[in-house]
Structure 1
Amino acid sequence: MTTAIAALPRKRVSLPRVVKSEWIKFWSVRSTFITLSIAVLLLIGFGLLASSLYGDGSDPGGPPGNEPTDPIGASFTGTNFALLAFGALGVLFTAGEYSTGMIRSSMAAVPKRLPVLWAKVAVFAAVVFVVALAASAVVFTAGQALIGDGGASWSDPGVARAVIGTAGLLTGSGLLGLGLGALLRSTPGAITTLFGVMFLLAMVAALLVPESWSDVVQYLPSEAGDAFTAVTQEPDALSPPAGLAVFGGYIAATLGAAAWRIRRSDV
């Protein structure tokens, strides 16, 4: 029996095979379905609620202090809530393996290590972008139907960019969570850091940064994300391409730091 097992041919480790392995792991965990469902429900549920309250624009609805200023913004009121859910999913996809010890098996099967990270990125980005894009299209279409005559249409300038950009923002927040999970290897620590970076950092900067340095705030991750998803551009905000570049830079830096630690550490 031992001789027969030893005689079996060993398949070469390749990126497609690692991607297939990560795909199976991603869908074999119950939290994937639960978190994806919660994220979609938050995006669509809050968006439809705000759209139903928007009316003719005199009562924009939405959370106090965060009311949408246009009908498109009303449909995407749930973006920040979904952002945290997708981010948490990204954290669980990497930090979860460290907490269970499964990462040892993954690294033993793929000695070069980094293909494991890149495979996780590919699987996560593909799934989340498709889900987020579908949910964004649904909430925009249904939300504008609820608003009625005062709503926007797909042919309006900037609408397609807002829908696709929202899906990109949600996917990017998940990739930030994925990178933080691999870097910090702690689910609570990575989720807390993601929340601080995407929400608290901008609030603290707005309160503490001197007025002469106010331009720095627009380069924070949350502000850069808003720049490429908003239809109506604020005068002190980055342009959509610049916002996308800055936000993508944060993702690249986080994943790069995670890759560096994976190469340097024993596990």
Structure 2
Amino acid sequence: MNLLRSEWTKFRSLRSTWLTAAMTVLLGVGIGALASGTAARTYTGEDWDPTASSMTSLVVAQLAIGVLGVLVITSEYATGTMQPSLTAAPRRGRLLAAKATVLAGAALVLGQLIGFASFFTGQAVIAGMDVPHATLGEPGVLRAVVGCGLYLAAIGLLGLGLGAASRSTAGAIGALVSITWVIRALSSALPESWSNWMDRYWPTTAGERITAVLRAPGELGPWAGYSILCAFVAAVGAAGYAVLRTRDA
């Protein structure tokens, strides 16, 4: 409990934490509203998923939350405060677990705020254009909106694991951008069989299935896809723990 209180104090006392959170919400909701309006203007009635249009906010929010996860640990290496932290908490696994718990809780709350705000704003835009919109009572919609928070919490922990493994802010953010954006964008240039595999099983692509309502033939279910993301995050976290445990601060 003392470690949790200590990590929460560190987390909430940084100005960058609150600035990142505020910008993430504003940009996420704004992009979700713009994407919903664009989707409504091109509405044809086929494969229409208004909830997915609102959840486009994940594009920006996942990077911001991931960077926040990176900074939770790399900022201590950058400022030289990691050594006092390890002196006060010599059991390094407990220190990393405390950081992960605080980050996961904050990212989950922030993710739910973004998910519900994006959903209601986006559906209001769609309804205002006389296009069929979604409500939380429809099958799969509430799960998709709540899934936004679950997905962002996982991405935050991914950032923490990358930060622990690399101990470099720039290196961890570069890896995060590659995992969430670059590799997925380049997959379209791969042979069709590889590209289809990436579209289905790449961790972040699979994890995003939890925020979708419609399911195309052959696609993973929401919880199966999210399980792949969680397994990947756990593997990265284990690598980060191994580095934290074996290297000097």
Q: Same fold (TM over 0.5)?
A: yes
Does structure 2 retain, via aligned residues, the 8 Å contact 1:224–1:244?
A: yes
Structure 2 gap segments, 5+ residues each = none
Does structure 1 retain, via aligned residues, the 8 Å contact 2:73–2:160?
A: yes
1:218-233 → structure 2 map (5 Å cutoff) = 218-233=200-215
1:33 corresponds to 2:15: no
* Superposed CA offset, 1:193-237 (max 9, x none): 001011121232332245278335422122111222211112232
Give secondary structure in 2 for the equivalent of 1:76: helix
Does structure 1 retain, via aligned residues, the 8 Å contact 2:187–2:195?
A: no
| TM-score between both structures, scaled by the size of structure 2 | 0.92
How many residues are aligned here? 245
Indicate which of 195, 201, 204 corresponds to 2:177. Answer: 195
Rate the CA distance shift 1:108–1:235 in 2: closer, same or farther, 3 A.
same
Rate the CA distance shift 1:222–1:209 in 2: closer, same or farther, 3 A.
farther
1:112 corresponds to 2:91: yes
Take 1:213 and 1:200, find their aligned partners in 2: how far apart are those partners? 14
- The structure number with the bigger radius of gyration is 1
Give secondary structure in 1 for the equivalent of 2:136: coil
What corresponds to 1:80 in structure 2?
59
1:13-28 → structure 2 map (5 Å cutoff) = 16-28=1-13
| TM-score between both structures, scaled by the size of structure 1 | 0.86
Give secondary structure in 2 for the equivalent of 1:77: helix
Indicate which of 164, 175, 178 corresponds to 2:157. Answer: 175
Does structure 2 retain, via aligned residues, the 8 Å contact 1:75–1:139?
A: yes
1:254 corresponds to 2:233: no
Partner amino acid for 1:30? R
**Going by fraction, where is helix more abundant, 1 or 2?**
2
Q: How far is the alpha carbon of 1:57 from its aligned partner?
A: 4.8
Indicate which of 97, 103, 106 corresponds to 1:124. Answer: 103
Take 2:33 and 2:86, find their aligned partners in 1: how far apart are those partners? 44
1:46-57 → structure 2 map (5 Å cutoff) = 46-55=31-40, 57=42
Percent of residue pairs bearing the same amino acid type: 38
CA-atom RMSD in angstroms: 2.0
Rate the CA distance shift 1:210–1:57 in 2: closer, same or farther, 3 A.
closer
What corresponds to 2:49 in structure 1?
70
1:164 corresponds to 2:146: yes
Structure 1 gap segments, 5+ residues each = 1-15, 61-67
Take 1:245 and 1:209, find their aligned partners in 2: how far apart are those partners? 26
Partner amino acid for 2:147? G
Q: How far is the alpha carbon of 1:87 from its aligned partner?
A: 0.6
What corresponds to 1:42 in structure 2?
27
